Amino acid sequence: MTTNEIRKIIADSEFSDWLNSVNLQIEYPHLDFDQTLTGFSSVFKFLEQQINGWEKFGENIPNELKASKKQFSTFKTRLENYINSYVINSNHNESQLNNYWNSEKNQIQNNKTLFVYDSPITEFLINIHRDVPKYYAGAYNFVMGNYNFSNKDSMIGHLLAYEFELKDYTELTKRRNKEKSSIGKLRNDFRSQLSESETQLSEHLKSANIEFENYTQKIDELKTEKESNFDDWFDNTKIEFDNFDTTTKEKISDLEHTYEELLRLKKPAEYWNQRATKLNKEGWKAIYWLVGLVAFACVTLYLLLWLTPDGMLLSFIKGQASAIKWSIIYVTFISFLAYGIRALNKVAFSSFHLARDAEEREQLTYVYLSLIKDSAVDEKEKSLIMQSLFSRAETGLLKGDSGPAMPNDISGKIFGGN
């Protein structure tokens, strides 16, 4: 587990404020090392730095210093277990977390014999171990305060450690000690600032996570709202499209049916239109002939009545046979004129009647097509309209028709009985 992972866990934890407020005081008197770390991530990062720093020295270091390296690894593992057991995968309150933390904290604080990798004394002991290993034990005992002059090598080791610490009390030594003290203060200040930075970083990560969660929540809400709006729009559009599709198909079906009916009735309508025009012409033609025949009848009657010879009139008075002859001829002529006038009259008005009937059939055809388009005609009404369109029309020519009135008929009517 890395420091970045620890920071993320702290930022996501409900105990982030408490985890950022915990502190640990590390004191190693033999190294003149005293450091207070604030924040769980600061403690974890310190242990991680010590482990990585000791790794750089390799394996050629004294066993006492290897023990420090191993102990820092043990502390780091214990903190990882603490995070996994009491922060991530457990439901504990802050008081319980504090009790567990005090236990871990004591394990680290109570061990005051460790060495940090970046201490000058640590580097001094490693150099003695590598360059003159026989003097290492004496130097180590001197640093730890165990003064033992049992042999020459131990004595020399003590002297080397003494010279490293004091060297002779001279101005140069004072200056070196002051510089060493200054560097130590700078190191401690740097570590204090590092601890404070870790706390600020953890708080910043927590704030960033909260803002990110709020932003994510807003995005999810916006996404849900847009999806809901889209679903509503899609459902409404689908319903409208289905209605439009159904209506359009019905209209297309009606139009197709109307078009089929139009094709079926187009020729009859054209025929009725042409027939009406033709019958109107024939009617007016019969009217002209009727007018001409009436005029001719009037003229002939005038001539017969006003221009009759005197001998004919005398024959009527005297009762001669020639008078009967001229009477029969006159009556026959008048009968033929009357029959012709009557026939022309029937032909004229029959033509006008048939023309009007053809016009009405044509208009009825278009009305029928319009009703079909609006789906306002059922099968029964359709049958009635079809019967009206294609029923037989009365011409008016045969009804009450009779042959020309001959003289014997007239005499029979005059002299006969019933």
The predicted-structure confidence for 212-257, as pLDDT tens digits, reads as follows 778 888 888 888 888 888 888 888 888 888 888 888 887 777 777 6
Q: Which two tokens stand for residue 98?
A: 């504090």
Nearest to 44 by CA among 76, 15, 21, 70: 76
230 falls within a domain: no
Question: Do 350 and 394 sit in the same domain of this protein?
Answer: yes
Q: How many Å apart are CA 364 and CA 368, to the nearest integer?
A: 6
Asked if residue 71 belongs to a domain, the reply is: yes
CA atoms within a 13 Å half-sphere pointing along the CA-CB vector of 80: 14
User: Average pLDDT of 273-297?
Assistant: 83
Where in the sequence is the domain holding 32, given as residue range(s)?
Answer: 3-225
* Count of domains observed in the chain: 2
Using pLDDT thresholds of 50, 70 and 90, give the confidence band for residue 399. Answer: low
Per-residue pLDDT band for 176 (boundaries 50, 70, 90) equals low
Which one, of 123, 114, 119, lies nearest residue 187 by Cα? 119
Structure-model confidence comparison of residues 331 and 195, the more confident one:
331
Residues 220 and 326 reside in one and the same domain = no
Reported in sequence order, the residue ranges of 75-160 that DSSP labels E, i.e. its strands, are none
Q: Does pLDDT of 159 surpass 80?
A: yes
Quick check: helix, strand or coil at residue 23? strand
Q: Are residues 59 and 151 in the same domain?
A: yes
Residue 171: pLDDT band by 50, 70, 90 thresholds? very low
The least confident of 19-23, 196-200, 209-213 is 196-200
CA–CA separation, 61 vs 58, rounded Å? 7
Within this chain, do residues 74 and 194 fall inside the same structural domain, yes or no?
yes
Which contacts qualify for 171-178: CB closer than 8 Å, 24 or more apart? none
* Mean per-residue pLDDT over the chain, rounded: 75
Say whether both 188 and 282 belong to one domain.
Answer: no
Contacts of 337 (CB under 8 A, 6+ apart): 293, 296, 297, 300
User: Is residue 251 in some structural domain?
Assistant: no
In a domain, 321, yes or no: yes
Q: Please name the residue that has the structure tokens 């010879």.
A: 309
What single DSSP character describes residue 150? Answer: S
d(CA 106, CA 20): 18
Examine the domain organization and report whether 26 and 100 are in the same domain.
yes
| Residue 88 DSSP one-character state | I
Residue 268 has pLDDT above 50, yes or no: yes
- Asked whether residue 247 is assigned to any structural domain, the reply reads no
Token pair in block for residue 179: 């510089």
Q: Is residue 152 part of a domain?
A: yes
Helix (H, G, I), strand (E, B) or coil at 116: coil
Confidence of residue 401 (pLDDT cuts 50, 70, 90): very low
Residue 374 counted as domain residue? yes
Sequence length of the chain is 418
In this structure, the dihedral spanned by the alpha carbons of residues 41, 42, 46 and 49, taken in order and rounded to 10 degrees, is 60
Is residue 381 one of the residues assigned to a domain? yes
Same domain (yes/no): 101, 215: yes
Entry pTM: 0.46
As beta bridge partners, residue 154 has none
What's the pLDDT at 305? 66
The CB-side HSE value for 349 (13 A sphere, CA atoms) comes to: 8
pLDDT at 406 over 50: no
Distance (Å, rounded) from C-alpha 199 to C-alpha 204? 9
Is residue 104 a contact partner of residue 79, using CB atoms and an 8 Å limit?
yes
Q: What is the dihedral of CA 251, 255, 261, 263, to 10 degrees?
A: -170
Q: What are the tens digits of pLDDT across the range 80-114?
A: 888 888 777 767 778 888 888 888 888 888 888 88
Last residue of one domain, picked from the residues 171, 206, 225: 225
Beta bridge partners of 36: 25
Angle between helix 40-57 and 63-82 (nearest 10): 150
For tokens 């000690």, name the residue: 177
Name the pLDDT band for 137 (thresholds 50, 70, 90): confident
Clarify whether residues 277 and 152 are in a common domain: no
Question: Does residue 177 have a pLDDT over 60?
Answer: no
Local confidence band at 143 (pLDDT 50, 70, 90 cut-offs): confident
**d(Cα 299, Cα 318) in Å, to the nearest integer?**
28
Nearest to 67 by CA among 134, 145, 122: 122
d(CA 339, CA 5): 127
